[in-house]
Amino acid sequence: MNPALSVKSLFVSYHGNEALKNVSFSIEQGKLVGIIGPNGAGKSTLLKALLNLIPKDNGEVQIYGKSFNELRKSVAYVPQRSNIDWDFPITVLDTVLLGTYPKLGLFKRPKKSEKEWALQCLQRVGIAEFSKRQIGELSGGQQQRVFLARALAQESEMLFLDEPFVGIDVSSEETIITILKELKNSGKTILVVHHDLSKVSDYFDQLVLLNKELIGFGDINQVLNAEVLAKAYSGEFSFLDKLGVKV
Ligand code: ADP
Ligand code: MG
Q: What is the DSSP letter of 188?
A: -
| Residue 24 parent element (H or E) | strand 17-27
pTM to 2 decimal places: 0.91
Give the closest ligand to the alpha carbon of residue 212. 1
CATH (one of 3.40.50.300, 3.90.550.10, 3.10.129.10, 1.20.1090.10) for 5-242: 3.40.50.300
Count of other CB atoms within 10 angstroms of residue 11 = 15
Summarize pLDDT for 181-235 with one digit per residue, the tens. Answer: 999 999 999 999 997 787 899 999 999 999 999 999 999 988 888 777 777 777 6
pLDDT over 70 percentage in the chain: 91
pLDDT mean across residues, the chain = 90
Distance 88 CA to ligand 1 centre (A): 24
**Any ligand 1 atom below 6 A from CB of 194:** no
Residue identifier of the C-alpha nearest atom 21 of ligand 1? 14
What's the confidence (pLDDT) of residue 44? Answer: 96
- Domain range list for the chain: 5-242
Checking DSSP bridges between strand 32-36 and strand 189-193, what pairing results, if any? parallel
